[in-house]
Structure 1
Amino acid sequence: MTESAGRRRTRRLATGTAVVLVLAGINGPWVYRFGSERYHEYKINRPEYKAANGHWGIIEFPAEYRQDTIHAVLLHTGKVLLVAGSGNNQDNFDAKIYDSRIWDPVKGTVKKVPTPADLFCTGHTQLADGNILIAGGTKRYEKLKGDVKKAGGVMILYNENPDRPMTLPKGTRFTGKRNGKTFVSDDSALIPRATKVFDRKTGRFLRNNPGYARVIVEAPKQGTKYETGTQDNYGIQGLTGADARNTYGIANKLGLDKRDFEGIRNAYEFDPVAEKYIKVDPMNEARWYPTLTTLSDGKVLGVSGLDDIGQLVPGKNEVFDPRTRTWTYTRYKRQFPTYPALFLLQDGRIFYSGSNAGYGPDDVGRDPGIWDVDSNRFTRLPGLSDPDLLETSGTVLLPPAQDEKYLVVGGGGVGESALSTNRTRLIDLSAPDPGFVDGPTLEKGTRYPQISVLPDDTVLVSGGSEDYRGRGASDIRQARLYDPATNSFRRVADPLVGRDYHAGSVLLPDGRVMFFGSNPLFADKADTKPGVFEQRIEIYTPPYLYRDARPALSGGPATIARGGTGTFTSRQASAVRKVRLIRPGATTHVTDVDQRSVALDFRTSGDRITVTVPRNRNLVPSGWYMVFVDDDQGTPSRARWVKVP
């Protein structure tokens, strides 16, 4: 019905009541739906409703700037880095179209950024100098079982020559000794030289331990007749003499099974001022779906991911040193599923909540606990409800960070399971014998919840879906504010857009929250229409921004050392009740281990507020932070940026 038609109906209402009633009888559901939608729009735009529940608005970039955003990082310039890479789009990947954008939420501008590799499903974190470390990404897309036309799989290559390594180019052909079938490598491979082993007491030579590498191989032609059912040794065509004797391949079944995504070793720093990627030394391991977590010395731990042949990295974790821009393996191995939620604790150890984004065995590395990276001691934590439903759950360090309380939200079964849980779980790691207890439940089982810490100490929990990647039109268009002080949820305004897999949220410096992404499998309840990637940005304005006024905050130093003080100016200084130092977010796949809100001691004098930064570098890792002050109504200021060296 058009607006003009609505006005004409109103004018005729007195003389046409009977006609209207007849039409309503015929078209009742449509009339009701139209009226309810108009009323809902009226209700959510009323000032009183916004003051109680907040408000959602949609931003749609011009067509040439839209992308399938997978990752979002708040920069210390106040802008947001939006990364798609190939955007879970095989056509983009094949055409080497890799995208990133810089969005300025103040000016409303968006800019394309040259992207050097496929940073789809990479890892990222904030560095001390304000650069963003980005590591890993996509080497090759998955092939589902029905899409695999050529038999193939993983071949282990061995080199028994202790004098030199062996390089095999892409396209090398391998022929089975027993089955006689030939397979072709889809990448080059460097096989290290063998290692000589001597008796420690006598010095007598014992043997050569062969060097080894792995490569994906495929049959040269399609068809099931090229599949193999058992392990075989493979000779390498083109090699002769000693090389042929010393270099060979071994493979188990080579078939038409599903092949997972493969990762890359690439690593970059993104410079927020120059707004460009800077290449740094590659990781030792290729990683797709890795987590990057800051350690107590400011170095960055790289964990998990699928490697360059699509297998879960077998616990070979590594550390990035920002001073040398190089990677070094950790002393011990420990395996986790992909995108594990790993948080730096105040004593320098790492808390693993059990939350993860998907790939990995269902019985390896899924128990929550506290991990000492240096000794590899792992202390399991008891009491977790629905422990088999942690995949695609979200975990957040509750404010203030000094309390070391964490909230785990929702989750689902391993892989493409339809199972999900409506539970939340709490753990207080400052307790003598910490264990999980249940928090308030959600209305629905929830995978992929988007979680953001707000400057008033509440936590926004929004979106997600009941089923894997929103199957069955199961997106949850609901949002809640969690209050750590009362351990309770309060329902607020509903988001306008459903967001599930590949969605996330980031707190902005003005106190609003930006939401991005969503990659549903299907677009209808019957799961018959393919899903469409959500390219629109949505902004949630919390209730606290609809009050009469917010405290002003200006001036202040650009740098405050740990244990040091800084003085800001505010006309409302006498009304300030708390000050928060919030680390900017870096989020993807329900994983954001960077965000934390630290309480600052403060004193006021006239229009001046002097704050003190805690001394503990594990509580306040080096880097850029947002400083917010909250007044006696719980209304936050706009943030001031401060660097903690």
Structure 2
Amino acid sequence: MPDEKPISRRHFLKLIGYLGVVSFGGLGALRELYQKGSPSFRSASSPLATPTSVFPPLLQTAFAQTTGSWSLGQNTTVVAIHAALTSTGKIFYVAGSSYCINTASGPYTARLLDPTTGIETNVALSNDLFCSGATQLPNGNIFVCGGTKLYDIDVNNCNGQWHGGNYAYEFDITSGTLIQQTPMKQGRWYPTCVSLPNGKVLIAGGDDEYGGYNFLTEIYDPATKSFSISYDPLGNGTYCVGSGAISSCPGAGAPCYGGPNQGVAIFLALYPRMSLMPSGLVFASGSLQKTYLWDPSSGTWTFVNSTSQTYRDYGTSILLPLQNTSNERGKVIIVGGSTTGSTVATNVVEIEDFNQGTSTAPVLRTVASLNIARKFLLPIILPNGKVIVFGGSSQGTTNPIFIPEMFDPENESQGWVTLPAATVARVYHGTALLLPDGSVWTASSTVNSCTPEFRTEIFKPAYFSATRPIISGTPTVGVYGASITIPTPNPSSISRVSLVRLGATTHHYEANARLIWLQITGTSSNSITVSAPLNANLAPPGYYMIHVLDSSLVPSTAQIIQIPGTGVAAPPAQVTGL
């Protein structure tokens, strides 16, 4: 190679030193030196937060093979503040007004992206769905509700608060269009949507059309395209729309809801972190210190316990992987955030363990702390059951963290393992989605308003460097409690099967993220049979990615299936990129 330069003696000796670490201690020892602050490996000004690799090229390759790797993806054409994976394998993402006062009156934007071909189409919308909530519906449509009616700095704003819209839409998977529905009772800016076992959607939290907290518990029924209010028969609370803005906003203070034996909800903060538990109850575990359970059958809200942190501003909570058994009660891990909007982030991690406790009284325990305290983090459950948090910042939006961390719920004592650094910062409004091939699509970020990040970056976990199992055809999916038959050319090599719900994420959490481990019940020469989810509490109706895994927990590329099934092999969905 004529342009190749000879290696200097100094760099040769450094390389020998690196290789010595690898030979005697492995890459883990090299990583440990880096993490403990060896001056050869870390910057004193920005430890663990630099996107620049500390390893020479020779070791970068080996490191990527053992821990994963990053590559830049196709830029988005608008900022992807809200994102969902569709049952066709495409990404539906929404910017709305893009967190920019200059476009507060429109045009409002959304896109449908094929991550394999790069083909992107415009999705028209007439309302500002910036700061809305979303979830997957049983038929594959994506329900979107709430959004922004007025910016806090809008010249027409009466009180300087963000005002929520009462908008409701379904993204129709067949036509690729957003179809407007009957509006909610009142506005919601920063609402949470939780898919329920009966296919309906719980909507909680958010600020109303005058910037006051919306205390209504609303239920969306996709069968009738209508909303209803769920009251707490044991509560007496009332809620008057915009009650705190009566003196400044004409019309505020009415209508009013609730009263004796039909109380409204308790205060849950904006975008409350919520999960449907295997009991059928909905658990709220952030950002407040107090946690609550909501019972869909009665409408009652019940206080559960108080976590150690007084508040977790832009922290997250994640429902950990579930076993497909009748005695599974679930565990929720609570990670990151800060006590106020301006204070430094925490590295404290807690688990609300319903398996150790009961369905209504979990055992709260502290587990290994994050290596790097962060807020604005992006949680993902991989097909192998491990949890990764991407991005975030140590304080505010200008102290980005590039190094992800991974937690193994089946090996808690291992703690959080750091992974290769990204090159693009993901702070406020960052998003992350698990794709069918097992990679993670990361997008969006806004350090300040009107500063959109269009670059995307793809993380490929370590299993991309392994020989991966194969699903060779369309699974035959039975009803709840029945079975699923999965074609695969080497059934004897399959040790586990995971079912992962399609993502719909925004603002640093995913209320409906869940993975269920399905028991293998039989094999043939060219297929395996597993137990279908026992019930809709474990796996609410909708679309999921199913994976087969070998004994090293290397997953296949997913097939997207509908739960519950009919017991008949459906024609394969037109999923791209598999």
Both structures adopt the same fold (TM-score exceeding 0.5): yes
- Per the alignment, residue 293 of structure 1 pairs with 194
Contact 1:381 1:435 in 2 (8 A): no
- Per the alignment, residue 640 of structure 1 pairs with 559
- Per the alignment, residue 498 of structure 1 pairs with 425
SS at match of 1:590: coil
Q: Residues 38, 284 of structure 1: CA spacing in aligned structure 2 closer, same or farther, 3 A cutoff?
A: closer
1:219-258 correspondence to structure 2 within 5 Å: none
Which of 122, 125, 133 in structure 1 is aligned with 2:132?
A: 122
Q: Give distance in 2, aligned partners of 1:38 and 1:439.
A: 29
Which of 84, 90, 100 in structure 2 is aligned with 1:79?
A: 90
- Per the alignment, residue 339 of structure 1 pairs with 271
**Does 2:308 match 1:407?**
no
1:33-112 correspondence to structure 2 within 5 Å: 40=55, 42-43=57-58, 45-46=60-61, 48-61=62-75, 66-94=77-105, 96-112=106-122
Q: Give distance in 1, aligned partners of 2:54 and 2:307.
A: 43
**Does 2:169 match 1:268?**
yes
1:363-378 correspondence to structure 2 within 5 Å: 366-378=289-301
Contact 1:383 1:437 in 2 (8 A): no
Which of 324, 344, 350 in structure 1 is aligned with 2:282?
A: 350
Contact 2:89 2:435 in 1 (8 A): yes
Deviations 1:560-596 (A, max 9, x none): 3111222221122111110011101110011201111
1:340 counterpart letter in structure 2: P
Q: Give distance in 1, aligned partners of 2:290 and 2:308.
A: 12
**Does 2:307 match 1:384?**
yes
Contact 1:554 1:640 in 2 (8 A): no
Number of residue pairs matched?
482
Which of 220, 223, 228 in structure 2 is aligned with 1:320?
A: 220
1:573 counterpart letter in structure 2: P
Q: Give distance in 2, aligned partners of 1:262 and 1:366.
A: 25
Contact 2:146 2:189 in 1 (8 A): yes
**Does 2:336 match 1:429?**
no
- Per the alignment, residue 181 of structure 1 pairs with none
- Per the alignment, residue 14 of structure 2 pairs with none
Which of 390, 395, 408 in structure 1 is aligned with 2:317?
A: 395
Q: Give distance in 2, aligned partners of 1:401 and 1:534.
A: 38
**Does 2:367 match 1:467?**
no
Contact 2:280 2:296 in 1 (8 A): no
Q: Residues 617, 38 of structure 1: CA spacing in aligned structure 2 closer, same or farther, 3 A cutoff?
A: closer
- Per the alignment, residue 551 of structure 1 pairs with 469
Contact 2:124 2:177 in 1 (8 A): yes
How far off is 1:57 after superposition? 1.0
1:451-530 correspondence to structure 2 within 5 Å: 451-468=379-396, 470=397, 473-487=398-412, 488-521=415-448
Extract unaligned runs of 5+ from structure 1: 15-28, 30-35, 149-185, 187-215, 218-257, 356-364, 522-529
How far off is 1:133 after superposition? 0.5
Q: Give distance in 2, aligned partners of 1:408 and 1:38.
A: 29
SS at match of 1:83: strand
Q: Give distance in 1, aligned partners of 2:179 and 2:506.
A: 21
Q: Give distance in 1, aligned partners of 2:404 and 2:52.
A: 19
- Per the alignment, residue 484 of structure 2 pairs with 566
How far off is 1:445 after superposition? 2.4
Q: Give distance in 2, aligned partners of 1:637 and 1:350.
A: 31
Q: Give distance in 1, aligned partners of 2:337 and 2:54.
A: 34
- Per the alignment, residue 22 of structure 2 pairs with none
Deviations 1:472-521 (A, max 9, x none): x3111111111111112111111111111111211100000111111113
Contact 1:337 1:366 in 2 (8 A): no
Q: Give distance in 1, aligned partners of 2:543 and 2:533.
A: 15
Deviations 1:178-226 (A, max 9, x none): xxxxxxxx6xxxxxxxxxxxxxxxxxxxxxxxxxxxxx75xxxxxxxxx
Q: Give distance in 2, aligned partners of 1:423 and 1:280.
A: 41
Deviations 1:437-483 (A, max 9, x none): 11111133211111100011111112111112x2xx31111111111
Of structures 1 and 2, the larger Rg is shown by 1
How far off is 1:366 after superposition? 4.9
2:116 counterpart letter in structure 1: V
How far off is 1:309 after superposition? 1.1
**Does 2:346 match 1:446?**
no
How far off is 1:328 after superposition? 0.7
Contact 2:377 2:427 in 1 (8 A): yes
Deviations 1:400-448 (A, max 9, x none): 355511111111123x332321111112112334232111111332111
Deviations 1:144-176 (A, max 9, x none): xxx97xxxxxxxxxxxxxxxxxxxxxxxxxxxx
Q: Give distance in 2, aligned partners of 1:137 and 1:462.
A: 25
Q: Give distance in 2, aligned partners of 1:38 and 1:91.
A: 38
- Normalising by structure 2, report the TM-score: 0.79
Contact 1:558 1:643 in 2 (8 A): no
2:208 counterpart letter in structure 1: D
SS at match of 1:124: strand
Q: Give distance in 2, aligned partners of 1:120 and 1:323.
A: 26
Q: Give distance in 2, aligned partners of 1:259 and 1:40.
A: 49
2:121 counterpart letter in structure 1: K
Q: Residues 11, 320 of structure 1: CA spacing in aligned structure 2 closer, same or farther, 3 A cutoff?
A: closer
- RMSD across aligned positions (CA): 2.5
Contact 1:59 1:538 in 2 (8 A): yes
Q: Give distance in 1, aligned partners of 2:321 and 2:303.
A: 24
How far off is 1:341 after superposition? 1.1
Extract unaligned runs of 5+ from structure 2: 10-42, 44-50, 233-263, 565-578
How far off is 1:305 after superposition? 0.9
Deviations 1:351-397 (A, max 9, x none): 11123xxxxxxxxx6511322244454443346222x1322111111
Contact 2:290 2:305 in 1 (8 A): no
Q: Give distance in 2, aligned partners of 1:353 and 1:623.
A: 24
Is the deviation greater in 628-637 or in 602-611? 602-611
How far off is 1:330 after superposition? 0.9
Which of 594, 608, 629 in structure 1 is aligned with 2:548?
A: 629
Deviations 1:111-169 (A, max 9, x none): 222223211011100000110000111111112xxx97xxxxxxxxxxxxxxxxxxxxx
Q: Give distance in 2, aligned partners of 1:581 and 1:110.
A: 28
Q: Give distance in 1, aligned partners of 2:7 and 2:73.
A: 39
- Per the alignment, residue 305 of structure 1 pairs with 206
Larger RCO (CA within 8 A; separation ≥ 6): 2
Q: Residues 601, 140 of structure 1: CA spacing in aligned structure 2 closer, same or farther, 3 A cutoff?
A: same
How far off is 1:556 after superposition? 3.1
Q: Give distance in 2, aligned partners of 1:297 and 1:429.
A: 22
SS at match of 1:381: strand
Contact 2:276 2:512 in 1 (8 A): no
